[in-house]
Structure 1
Amino acid sequence: MSAQATPPSSLQPVDEDAEQLARLGYTYDKQFKREMSFWGNVSLGFTYLSPVVGVYTLFATSLGLAGPPMLWSFLIVGVGQLLVALVFGEIVSNYPVSGGIYPWARRLWGRKWGWMTGWAYLTALLVTIASVAYGAGAFLGALIGLEMSPDSIILCALGLIAVAAAVNFAGTKVLSAVAMLGLIAELGGALVVGVLLLLTARQHDLSVLFQHFGTGDGGNYFAAFAAAGLIGIFQYYGFEACGDVAEEVPNPGRTIPRAMRLTIYIGGFAAMFVCLSLILAVPDFAAVISGQDPDPVASVLTGAFGVAGYKLVLAVVMISFVSCVMSLQAAASRLSYSLARDKMLPGSTWLARFDEKRHVPPVSLAVAAIVPAAVVLVSRLQENALIYIVSFAAMGIYIGFQMVVLAALRARLKGWQPAGRYRLGVWGLPVTVGALVWGILGITNMAWPRTPESPWYENYMVLLSSIVVLGIGLLYMVWKKPYIHSDAPAADAILSQSSALRADSVR
């Protein structure tokens, strides 16, 4: 898709979505197919958010750090991220363009801000794909009854990445359908498992949700709760993926803001319900806190359902992992394509190629599989390499979020008045300020050093990795000046508003 605002032929029928895209500066020579339904869009965001993957992966750590009250982090983070989703909904309604966060930042602030936002978010997405795929190894090993070695975990991760890529290469319609199946399997499995645990394996009443069972490291329970709250912080992103595929959704100005909110509602409810059912079924909190029970999820599920039932649950978990990687790849490929068609990336000519038959960007999709696979393979060369690399994953996504929120706040203070089909109205400014404050708190929590006994570089790994990634992006921007290579619209949110005000004054 070219970044030239040339109108289509008058002989060619054009729908409102295509006309809006043309007004935003993109022509019809290469166009995604709008085959993703509302529920397909929700499913994409939900499977990216993946409550089962998040809860099952971090449950033991969070419960060991803060005890049962760690459940409340889901509620706290959910409210904060809902504010971000509301801001994003208003922005995507104005700019329903593939790639989401990058074009939003570009239109709200400018080319340089757009580049840095896109760089941070794309890097984080590619690394997140690798970390989720790698994390599936332990669950696959438990499912097939094998103790996974580093090599077998790597093979599992590579296989999962390949399967997800195959789904994405099949096109938007297949992606939407598989995402829907992933939502049904994950949500249905989570609800069934949760209900059965509450009915047959419950060990405690709700009062335990207000008891920390001695956690808190010498009485500093707030610090323990903040550390345990990372389970919530790592949970609530994925809703932005609904906007990454904006050119593949009919009526995106209305559909996507709704899908983003619903992703938060459904995903948050599912995560809290799964976590609650597990907490109330844990027989011995002291064993988890002390480390005697290092895998309370396995202990609870095996005790409640037996080995066969536990493996059935693990099968659903593996579906969740595949769906999550698939959705992450879709988001990363659309972002890469969006940057490339604006000539912002090395190899943009290749990355911006478009498959007219399947209506997908094949080279960008391949990059969304090859780069994560390379990250996984690096772990074979150095034992801690993958840990260092993925330290940036969640932080980078949150940084990308807040760069967009900050751009929206700046634009609003300079006179931008959103004109999309979804608007926050008088709530726009307070919601945007609240989203920014929340994001800064979340980023601070992720970067906060918590292992003083470790070497300094490990204690500050999240912060250091963020500085390195952002530094590389900044150096490339100064060196190659990718922002000057395209005449695609930028910083026009405020300019268009100023033009409208001048026109009104003339009239």
Structure 2
Amino acid sequence: MTDPAKPAELGDGEHLQVLGYEDSFHRSMSLWANFALGFTYLSPLVGVYSLFALALTVGGPPSIWWIVIVGAGQLLVSLVFGEVVSQYPIHGGIYPWARRLWGKRYAWMAAWVYIWAMIVTITAVSEYGSGFAASLFGIPADATTGLLLTLGLLVIALAINFSGTKWLARVARIGLAAELIGVIGLGLYLLIFQRKQEFSIFFDTMGVEGDGSYLTAFMGAALAGLFLFYGFEACGDVAEEVENPARRIPKAMMLTILVGGVSALFSFGGYVLAAPDLQAIVAGEDADPIPAILESTLGPVGAKLFLIVAVTAFLSCVLSLQAAASRLLYSFARDGMIPGSRWLSKVSAAKVPVNALIVACTIPAIIAVLVWINAGLLVPVTAFAVLGIYVAFQMVVLASLRQRLRGWKPAGPFTLGRWGLVINIVALAYGVFAMVLLAMPGASGDPLTDWVVLIGLAVVLGTGLLYLLIARPDRKSTAPEGDAVAVADEIRVRTGAVRAVQAPRT
């Protein structure tokens, strides 16, 4: 019997019709599979391993607190995203959200930045994963081997993505298990059985500040958290392949942040407490300390098992990144907003955007070849990725705040109610703070090195703006834009009509 006091919800197909689209995908992804996709994209194992030595060298053991600070800030961003995706559960994430909250040209710039940030991230994760694969198979990690293993990870992920959403979900769940074993399981083992430091070490700067202020050193270590906490938005990129996405995706995004944060804390903390020579790591004498920590605590066999877990996690991360990037490209193409729109918007018999997936594999492969030619390119091409992600995020947060001030009351089943405006403002303030930290120039004395993050972002923004002004893709698209208030009103009308019909049956 229906409760007339409980708000009715639109069916998935009806909700899409309100937004101007028809169902084109299999809705075979559950809440846990959607969470697994976001979690393996966020990948605390990848983030912690990549930045552990840098964080300790710059900020010492207290740099672990950036995981808490950034996790809290990104949780606020995920709450804002949750309200948006609950009203707009459509493929593409950042692009359709920015379009429906603001407009076509604004969405073009947000998506352009986000696409390139994701593509570069796919390359970077594949490159870092190739090092683990080389260690696992006992292969010398030279440039050519690294290229072949990087391309191998990209192609294997592409093949799995081609097979359909069910296989994507299965491998994402395997990756989730690998991540949890590799970060929480190993972290707990190190904390309980291999601890060589006291817990008070997380409040000991170990002299990293030198003669200056520790605040400067601590702020310099912010990347330890900022690099880690994105990927949760991928849960929304595949919205049309999720059952009841308006309710499940917000939960999946918040779970990704919470579980990812706890996992990262266990992992980072475990490595610090188990380090046999922590002072050498902080002093910068050991640039890659985790293998030595694993060898000393797990032994050769245990270290080899961890490598299997790590390679699985890296592969799953590449898989999730490709899936998210392809859905964004598909969404962009479906609205006629990108060159080759008809080709990119093609969906295969397995109900996946096959051509968009090819692009999400091919361009990272081309960048990998360029890195093989000049290894020094890896850092410059990836340096802007984190800032690009945060810029795209905050464009959605800003657009959401603008609509609230114009009277928008989110109409999806997930809402923040009266707290929405406050959370939106604080999330935007956090995002601006994070972008300032990411954009701060270095102090090496080499202008190219010190300003590479802003240079990379300027190149991407400049090329996107030029294409927008010259090709005017916004004029070629008739898809809806800036309709947050109107769509919310229509959803309320439709759910109200449903309640009116159901009420006499109670």
Q: Does 1:24 align with 2:19?
A: yes
State the 1:497 CA deviation: 6.1
Partner Cα distance (1:452, 1:383) in 2? 19
Q: Aligned Cα RMSD in Å?
A: 1.6
Equivalenced residue count is 484
Residue 4 of structure 1 aligns with which residue?
none
Distance 1:501 1:196, change over 3 A: closer
- Write out per-residue CA displacement over residues 14-50 of structure 1, whole angstroms, 9 at most, x where no aligned residue: x81011101100134xx01100011000000000000
Residue 101 of structure 2 aligns with which residue?
108
Q: Is the 8 A contact 2:117 2:385 kept in 1?
A: yes
111, 115, 118: which is aligned to 1:118? Answer: 111
Q: Does 1:382 align with 2:382?
A: no
Partner Cα distance (2:73, 2:154) in 1? 31
Q: Does 1:427 align with 2:419?
A: yes
Bigger Cα displacement from structure 2, 135-144 vs 228-237: 135-144
Partner Cα distance (1:359, 1:137) in 2? 30
State the 1:447 CA deviation: 1.2
Residue 481 of structure 2 aligns with which residue?
490
Residue 8 of structure 1 aligns with which residue?
none
The residue identity in structure 2 corresponding to 1:488 is A
Identity of aligned residues (%): 48
Residue 463 of structure 1 aligns with which residue?
454
173, 176, 194: which is aligned to 1:183? Answer: 176
Partner Cα distance (1:129, 1:150) in 2? 18
State the 1:450 CA deviation: 2.0
**SS across alignment from 1:214:** coil
Q: Is the 8 A contact 1:134 1:153 kept in 2?
A: yes
Q: Is the 8 A contact 1:415 1:497 kept in 2?
A: no
- Write out per-residue CA displacement over residues 345-389 of structure 1, whole angstroms, 9 at most, x where no aligned residue: 11111001111x200011001000001101111112333223221
Q: Equivalences for 1:295-310 in 2 at 5 Å?
A: 295-310=288-303
Partner Cα distance (1:497, 1:229) in 2? 38
Partner Cα distance (1:307, 1:144) in 2? 13
State the 1:298 CA deviation: 1.2
Q: Is the 8 A contact 2:114 2:392 kept in 1?
A: yes
State the 1:200 CA deviation: 2.4
Q: Is the 8 A contact 2:181 2:309 kept in 1?
A: no
Partner Cα distance (1:410, 1:384) in 2? 41
Residue 246 of structure 1 aligns with which residue?
239
Q: Does 1:472 align with 2:467?
A: no
Partner Cα distance (1:409, 1:471) in 2? 26
Q: Equivalences for 1:223-242 in 2 at 5 Å?
A: 223-242=216-235
Distance 1:438 1:144, change over 3 A: same
Distance 1:147 1:218, change over 3 A: farther
Distance 1:171 1:409, change over 3 A: same
Residue 428 of structure 2 aligns with which residue?
436
**SS across alignment from 2:311:** helix
**SS across alignment from 2:375:** coil
Residue 10 of structure 1 aligns with which residue?
none
**SS across alignment from 1:384:** helix
**SS across alignment from 1:391:** helix
339, 359, 364: which is aligned to 1:367? Answer: 359
256, 279, 302: which is aligned to 2:249? Answer: 256
- Write out per-residue CA displacement over residues 157-200 of structure 1, whole angstroms, 9 at most, x where no aligned residue: 11001111111101001101110111012102322212221232
Distance 1:164 1:39, change over 3 A: same
Distance 1:310 1:105, change over 3 A: same
Q: Is the 8 A contact 1:171 1:359 kept in 2?
A: yes
Q: Is the 8 A contact 1:217 1:224 kept in 2?
A: no
TM-score (norm 2): 0.93
- Write out per-residue CA displacement over residues 455-489 of structure 1, whole angstroms, 9 at most, x where no aligned residue: 21210000110011011101100000111112111
- Unaligned runs of 5+ residues in structure 1 are 1-14, 503-507
State the 1:256 CA deviation: 0.3
